[in-house]
Structure 1
C-alpha cells in the first residue's frame, strides 16, 4: 500500500485506540478506558493490524504484550495525541472546567512536602476532568529531553544555576537551616562551623556518580567539606531518620518546618553562611505560548506563594 493511501485510512480515533491498547496491554481494559464496547475495540485493533502488517499485541501466558513493532508505536502515538490536544485546546483557549488535558510534570522531592499535594488538589478542583502524571527528578530522568519531546510540560526543583536553554520562573527562595533530633547535643551546646562540618550529616543520594547538590557545591566554593555518613534517595524519609539519630539534615527552612510540627526534631541555624535555596519552574519553548501550559504554571506559582504565607 502506498504511503498516502495508508495515511488516508488513519484517523485520530484509531491512533487513540492504538495507544490505549498498547499501553493497557488488554483489549477489555482499553475498552473500559476508552468508553467503548469491547467488540468495537477488537474491530479497530484488526484494522490497525492490517494497516501495520503486524499483530501489534500478542498473547503471552495469561496476558498480552506488544510486539517489537507495537512497542515502537507507543511513544509516536502518544506524541500525536498530545499534539492534537494542544492544537485544538489552545485554538479555543483553555477552559479548566471542561478540559480533558493530561498535565505531566517532574518535581524534586526536596520541595515543601505540602507543595505537590496542594498543587494536585488545586488542579483537580479547577480542572476535574484533567489527568496528572508526576515524575521524579532522578538521575536517569533527562528532563531537558523530556521537555523538548513534549513528554513533560513543567519541571520544578532547585538548581545552583538553572539551565539557560529553558524558560524559567522563580517560585520562591528559602533560608538554609539544619534539622536535628530534639536531643541532639547541638540543641543544648550550640555549634560553630568546625563542629557542624564534623557532625554526621545525611544527604540525598547523588543523581549520578560525582554529582553534588546545592549544599556541597557551595561548601566546595568555600574550600570546605562536611562529614556525610548517610545518603538516602528518598528525601521525604530523611526527617524521620534524623529524629532517631545524631544525623544532621541541611536544607530549606520551609521543608524542615513541616516536619518540626510532627516529629521530635529541632531546627537550628546553620553556622556556615549559605545563599537562599532557590526553587524554579522550567519549561520548553514548545509550550511557552500554550494556554494549558500557562494555566499549569500559574497554578504552581499560586501554590508556592500560598505555602510561603503559612
Structure 2
C-alpha cells in the first residue's frame, strides 16, 4: 500500500512537545523552554490528544498530571527521538572549549564537596560554555530508567553489586573510618569493637530501597546490631550533629576529612574490618560512544584519581 502524506501524523516536532509536556506537566513551562507561544503549545497538545486518543495531561488540585498512557508512552517517545537524532545528526564532533552541551550527573550526597568542587573547577576551565546539573538521588529515583531515557548522563554510586546492565568504571576507592566530635571521650584513645557496639550512632536515611550499603551489609554479615539512635535526612547533615555529642558516624575517609577540617571533629580508625568503599560512575549504552560523554567520563575519572592520590 502506498504511503500518502499525512498517514504519519506524529512528526518529530510533536514528539518533542509531547516529551517536554509530560516531563514539565505545564503548557506555559513547555512554551518557555521551546521559545514558543502558549497558544501554539496548547494547539499541539490538542493535536496529540486527537492522534493518541488520550487526554495525556489532566488537571488536579496541584496542577496538571500525566495520564497512565502518557507515562507509558514517554520512554518510547524519548527512544524514538534519540534514534532520529542519531540518524540525522551526522558524525558527532565535540569541542569542550565551545560546547554548550548540558551534562546531567546523578548522585546521592555522600560524595564530599571536594570531589564535586574539583569537577566544577575542571568543567569551568575546560568547557566554560557547558552546563552542569547535579541531581540528588533518593530511594524513589529509578536511576537506571533515567539513564536509559536520557534524563541523566552519568550516575555515581557505591553499590556493593553494581548493576550489570550498564557500563561502569571505578572512580575512587576509599577507607571506611569513624567520625566523632573532637570532644568525644574516645577521640584520642580510639575505638575497640566493644566501644563501637556500646556507642550511639548517627546514620543517614537509606538512598536505595533495592540494595544495602557496604557498611550495613558488613554489619549484617557479622550480626552486629549497632545503636542507630539518630537518623538524618542526608549524609551532609550527619557531621553537623556530631558536634558536642557522643554520637559516631561511620563513613569514608575523604568525606570525613573534608568535615574534620571544617568542624571540631576527629577521625578514628574503624574497629570493624570494613572492605574499601568503591565509587563507580555508571552510564547507558546509548551514550557510550558519544564524544561529549566520553570527555565527561574522562573528567570524572581524573577527579577521582586526584582524590585517590591525596588519600594515598
TM-score by length of 2: 0.80
- 1:280 counterpart = 2:280: yes
- The equivalent of 2:116 in structure 1 is 116
Distance 2:255 2:28 in 1: 44
Q: Secondary structure at the match of 1:140?
A: coil
- The equivalent of 1:235 in structure 2 is 235
- The equivalent of 2:251 in structure 1 is 251
Q: Secondary structure at the match of 1:255?
A: helix
Q: Shift of the alpha carbon at 1:234?
A: 0.9
Worse overlay, 96-105 or 176-185: 96-105
Q: Answer whether contact 1:180 1:242 (CA < 8 A) is retained.
A: yes
Distance 2:210 2:11 in 1: 48
Q: Shift of the alpha carbon at 1:249?
A: 0.8
TM-score by length of 1: 0.81
- The equivalent of 2:27 in structure 1 is 27
- The equivalent of 1:132 in structure 2 is 133
- The equivalent of 1:190 in structure 2 is 190
Distance 2:232 2:46 in 1: 48
Q: Secondary structure at the match of 2:289?
A: coil
Distance 1:253 1:88, change over 3 A: farther
Q: Secondary structure at the match of 1:106?
A: strand
Worse overlay, 274-283 or 299-308: 299-308
Q: Shift of the alpha carbon at 1:252?
A: 1.0
Unaligned runs of 5+ in 2: none
Q: Answer whether contact 2:107 2:136 (CA < 8 A) is retained.
A: yes
Worse overlay, 23-32 or 63-72: 63-72
Q: Answer whether contact 2:156 2:279 (CA < 8 A) is retained.
A: yes
**1:209-267 residue CA offsets vs partner (Å, 9 max, x unmatched):** 79532123234445544333233341110111112421111111110111112211111
Q: Answer whether contact 2:78 2:149 (CA < 8 A) is retained.
A: no
Aligned length: 308
Matches within 5 A, 1:208-223: 212-222=212-222
**1:193-220 residue CA offsets vs partner (Å, 9 max, x unmatched):** 2112221122233356795321232344
Q: Secondary structure at the match of 2:113?
A: coil
Q: Shift of the alpha carbon at 1:272?
A: 3.0
- The equivalent of 1:260 in structure 2 is 260
Unaligned runs of 5+ in 1: none
Q: Shift of the alpha carbon at 1:180?
A: 0.2
Distance 1:89 1:256, change over 3 A: farther
Distance 2:111 2:174 in 1: 10
Matches within 5 A, 1:1-310: 8-54=8-54, 56-57=56-57, 64-66=64-66, 69-85=69-85, 91-99=91-99, 101-120=101-120, 122-123=122-123, 126=127, 128-130=129-131, 132=133, 134-136=135-137, 138-207=138-207, 212-222=212-222, 224-308=224-308
Distance 1:192 1:25, change over 3 A: closer
